Homo-oligomer: A and B are copies of this chain.
Amino acid sequence: MVASCFAELLGERVDLTAGEVAALARLEERTREVRRGAILQRENEPCGELFVLRRGLMMSYVLLDDGSRQILRFLFPGDLIGVPGMIYRDSPEALAALTDCTVCPFEKTMLSQLFEEHPRLAALVMALNQVERVALTDRLAALGRTSAKARVAALLLDMRNRLRFADKAIGDTFTLGLTQEEVGDATGLTAVHVNRMLRQLEEGGLIRREAGRCTILDERALRRAANYVDRYERLELGWLPTAR
Asked if A122 and B126 sit within 8 Å, CB to CB, the answer is: yes
Closest to A107 in B: B239
Among residues 56 to 74 in chain A, which have CB atoms less than 8 Å away from a CB atom of chain B? 62, 64-65, 68-70, 72-73
Neighbouring B residues of A141 by C-beta, 8 Å: 62, 64, 70, 72
Subset of 8 A-B contacts with CB under 8 Å? A70-B144, A87-B236, A88-B236, A92-B134, A115-B126, A133-B136, A140-B143, A144-B188
Neighbouring B residues of A129 by C-beta, 8 Å: 126, 129-130, 133
Tell which of B64, B112, B140 touches A146, judged by Cβ atoms closer than 8 Å.
B64
Asked if A127 and B89 sit within 8 Å, CB to CB, the answer is: no
Knowing A108-B239, A139-B140, say if A188 contacts B133 (CB, 8 Å). Answer: no
**For the complex, is A123 an interface residue (Cβ under 8 Å from B)?**
yes
Neighbouring B residues of A146 by C-beta, 8 Å: 64
Asked if B86 and A130 sit within 8 Å, CB to CB, the answer is: yes
Closest to A241 in B: B112
**For the complex, is A111 an interface residue (Cβ under 8 Å from B)?**
yes
Neighbouring B residues of A168 by C-beta, 8 Å: none
Neighbouring B residues of A70 by C-beta, 8 Å: 140-141, 144-145
Most chain-B Cβ atoms within 10 A of its Cβ — which of A109, A122, A141? A141
Tell me whether chain A's interface is mostly helix, strand or loop, or mixed: helix
Closest to A44 in B: B229
Neighbouring B residues of A65 by C-beta, 8 Å: 227
From residue A212, how far is it (CB to closest CB) to chain B in Å? 25
Extra pairs beyond A64-B146, A87-B127 (9, CB < 8 Å): A62-B138, A64-B227, A72-B137, A72-B141, A112-B119, A115-B119, A122-B123, A132-B133, A144-B187
From residue A216, how far is it (CB to closest CB) to chain B in Å? 20
Among residues 189 to 232 in chain A, which have CB atoms less than 8 Å away from a CB atom of chain B? 227, 229, 231
Residue interface mask A170-190, B partner, CB < 8 A = 1: 000000000000000101100
**For the complex, is A12 an interface residue (Cβ under 8 Å from B)?**
no
**For the complex, is A23 an interface residue (Cβ under 8 Å from B)?**
no
Docked Cα-Cα span, A150 to B20, in Å, equals 46
